[in-house]
Chains A and B, each alone.
Chain A
Amino acid sequence: MSSEPVIEVKELVKSFRRQMLKSDYTTWKTLLLKPFSRRRREDYVTVLNGLSFQVPAGRTLAVIGQNGSGKSTLLKILAGIYKPDAGEVLVRGRVASLIELGAGFHPEFTGRENVYLNGAILGLSKKEIAERFEYIHSFSGLGEYIDAPVRTYSSGMYVRLGFSVAVNVDPDVLLVDEVLAVGDEAFAHKCEDKLNQFRASGKTICLVTHDMGAVEKYADDVIWLDGGRIAAQGEAKRVIDAYRQKVARDEDQIRRREGKQEKAEKLEQKRWGDGEATITDVRVLDAQGRERAVFETGEALTVEMDYQLKEPLDDLVFGIGINNAHGVVCYGTNTHIDRVELGQAPLKGTVSVFMERLDLVQGTYTLDVAAHAKDGRAYDYITQVTSFAVRSSVGDTGVFRPPHHWRLTAREDSP
């Protein structure tokens, strides 16, 4: 195998004209009326801004990033569908792109006819398709439906047939855009096998996906695109972690923005109590005291409650509860259980509960807060006052995540 990289990208720039916003399409009329209207600079959106990378032969590259980060544009440029505005793109060898499955399928034609048509579109000769037809047919698992018109197919069958043709093009370079999750589970396994087979036979693969599991499974290298630039690049695990943290931060911001609006309403709903004490605000904070809505598992978390009393109370108890998305109470406690003496609480104050480690598994959690009497009579009880998410790069399951480690030792059985 040659040492030359199969995919070479240097200083790639691609921008699109921002046209869909204003007048729809240019027409002869506008052309005749305003022949000299200049295209202004701000009419362009730069989608890819100076990318450079290489993919050596036989490696699998995954491109990750949020929607609109330029992943699919990059793939289309690699496929040759778009031309770069600046920079160089070089792809050596026969390219097959799994960007669109079943392109050119005609609904009135049978699956068999469409296999030939689609194969021709993907660059196979009639003879090549005929040779592979039996294999394509069995791979698709369509059975006798192969001779039914494609319009009668379910969407799963349609995609399966498209995938079966596409992977049989026998390329040197395979470009895949979010199509791994097609069909039912059995078919997904077949696709996985096929992809592994490609990898094993030394083909170069470029993969665009949001499925981090797939990235970890297949990718040798990962490129994380953010706003048209490479935000991070390199070994899968490291880049994915960096990406996840960024996503968590963004998500956190959005959740907090939404949360602020919701909280005002929530303070009124699903709430009961005689009003001797009222909780006026609830905040979820991280170790640095900043408000957050997304936490990594194992991070510190603080819940702060502002309260007001009508008159001094001597049996005041504050409590919190954390519920997961299924409504299971993951943890609940209060100052009475924890034997915290509040003494004569001031009429206005803030009570905080500090958790050094939040050992919950990944998921979304809601928070209940309460101020009540020692005998359980509610002064102010608010359920689901706010929510926060826990992110984890570990795929463990259950409710909580006790700090743990594993060990294996040999055992000598004494005779």
Chain B
Amino acid sequence: MIQNRTSVIWRHLEELYRHRSLIAALTGREMKGRYRGSILGFFWTFLNPLLLLLVYALVFSVYFRVKMENYAVFMFTGLLPWIFFSQSLNEGAGAISDGGSLVTKVLFPQQVLPAVKVAANFANYLLSLPILIGFLWYSGIPLTIYALAFVPVALVHIVFTYALVLLLAAANVFMRDTRQILANILTLWFFLCPVLYPLKQVPPAFRFLVKLNPAAAFTLAYHDIFFWCRWPDWRMLGLLALLSLVMLVVAIKIFEHYKEYFAEKI
């Protein structure tokens, strides 16, 4: 029984690895396809976060006059990974149900489709990092050795996101309102993460809302390594890693169980 369970998970991951060139090709399609035919083309990948940054800086630093040093860049540091996370969930939820003939007419491991959504959004996140770093530097915050922690933090973040995307993609095949519900949950979730405000602003009585929120833990970790220039809370990161792995195992099990009905349901 246990042997069987591990083999399902192992096969799922092995298939992902074996189809890495397909994932790369589909990710390329996803990213290039987004801006194909537009005048600025691939520059939109950079322009989007840049424009977003300008708007947020205008609203919060100029209009609201938030009393915090380098507030705009602080917010931007947390916003970029949130965009990666929420966009992955949003697009990933429809990965199977919008897969069309790729699901119903061709045979390849279906987990490739949600994986591509995560990969494409992560690649977008990576591409917007130079803008973040440039902006940090402009604000007088140097890039330090602590930025190396980006690698483990991002890895755990990817696993966490992929697990959720698998669940959502499978659920949306059978219950098409999953996406609508998700969109609302994401809005709520965004405000519960310390992206627009530092943790200090949260009254101690409400801190548990942040502490119990895994997405908030990621935000804090990114703040640590880029904005505060210190190591992230390793204990927290360890817990997150554990949580993410457990979620991944559960998600793969559920996804693999319902996988065979995908082609019929769409």
Contact = CB atoms under 8 A, between A and B. Distances in A.
A290 B244 CA distance: 74
B263 A121 contact: no
Interface string A62-91: 000000000000001001111100000000
Given A76-B263, A83-B260, A121 B106 contact: yes
A79 B263 CA distance: 12
A97 B21 contact: no
Contacts of A99: 105-106
A372 B102 CA distance: 67
Contacts of A25: 174-176
A108 B106 contact: no
Given A100-B101, A125-B21, A28 B177 contact: yes
B25 interface: yes
Contacts, number: 78
Interface of B: 21-22, 25-26, 29, 32-33, 36-37, 101-102, 104-108, 174-178, 181, 260, 263-264
B215 to A, nearest CB: 21
A81 B107 contact: yes
A117 interface: yes
B263 A81 contact: yes
A123 B108 contact: yes
Interface string A108-119: 110000001100
A28 B181 contact: yes
B29 A121 contact: no
A130 to B, nearest CB: 12
Contacts of A83: 260
Given A81-B263, A104-B106, A106-B29, A28 B101 contact: no
B101 A103 contact: yes
Kindly name the residue among A95, A100, A103 whose own CB sees the greatest number of chain B CB atoms within 10 A. Answer: A103
A29 B174 CA distance: 12
A256 B105 CA distance: 38
Contact of B107 (A80, A120, A125): A80
A27 B21 CA distance: 35
Contacts of A100: 101, 104-106
Contact of B25 (A16, A79, A116): A116
A247 B72 CA distance: 74
A318 B105 CA distance: 59
Of the listed residues B36, B107, B175, B178, the one surrounded by the most CB atoms of chain A closer than 10 A to its CB is B107
B181 A120 contact: no
Contacts of A117: 25-26, 29
A106 to B, nearest CB: 5
Contacts of A27: 175-177
Nearest to A81: B263
Given A99-B105, A122-B106, A108 B181 contact: no
A109 B29 contact: yes
Given A76-B263, A81-B107, A100-B106, 12 more contacts: A26-B175, A81-B263, A83-B260, A100-B104, A103-B101, A103-B106, A108-B33, A109-B29, A117-B29, A120-B22, A120-B26, A122-B106
A116 B29 CA distance: 11
A149 to B, nearest CB: 8
Contacts of B102: 103-104, 121
A161 B85 CA distance: 37
Contacts of A108: 32-33, 36-37
A82 B103 CA distance: 10
A31 interface: yes
A61 to B, nearest CB: 19
A116 B26 CA distance: 10
The 10 closest A-B pairs by CB, nearest first: A100-B105, A108-B36, A83-B260, A120-B25, A120-B22, A27-B177, A103-B106, A25-B176, A103-B101, A80-B107
A189 interface: no
Contact of B175 (A28, A97, A120, A123): A28
A380 to B, nearest CB: 58
B105 A81 contact: yes
A104 B100 CA distance: 9
29 contacts: A25-B175, A25-B176, A26-B174, A26-B175, A27-B175, A31-B175, A76-B263, A79-B107, A81-B263, A82-B260, A95-B107, A100-B104, A100-B105, A104-B101, A104-B106, A108-B32, A109-B32, A109-B36, A117-B25, A117-B26, A117-B29, A120-B21, A120-B22, A121-B22, A121-B26, A121-B108, A122-B106, A123-B108, A126-B21
A100 B107 CA distance: 11
B106 to A, nearest CB: 4
A21 to B, nearest CB: 15
A55 B78 CA distance: 59
B263 A28 contact: no
A17 B174 CA distance: 13
Interface in A124-151: 125-126
B263 A82 contact: yes
Contacts of A82: 260, 263-264
Nearest to A166: B106
A104 B263 CA distance: 15
Given A121-B102, A121-B108, A28 B178 contact: yes
A104 B23 CA distance: 13
B19 to A, nearest CB: 8
A80 B263 CA distance: 10
A95 B33 CA distance: 29
A97 B263 CA distance: 15
A71 B80 CA distance: 50
B186 to A, nearest CB: 16
A109 B33 contact: yes
Contacts of B178: 28
B132 to A, nearest CB: 29
Contacts of B101: 100, 103-104
A54 to B, nearest CB: 22
B26 A29 contact: no
B255 to A, nearest CB: 15
B264 A16 contact: yes
A106 B33 contact: yes
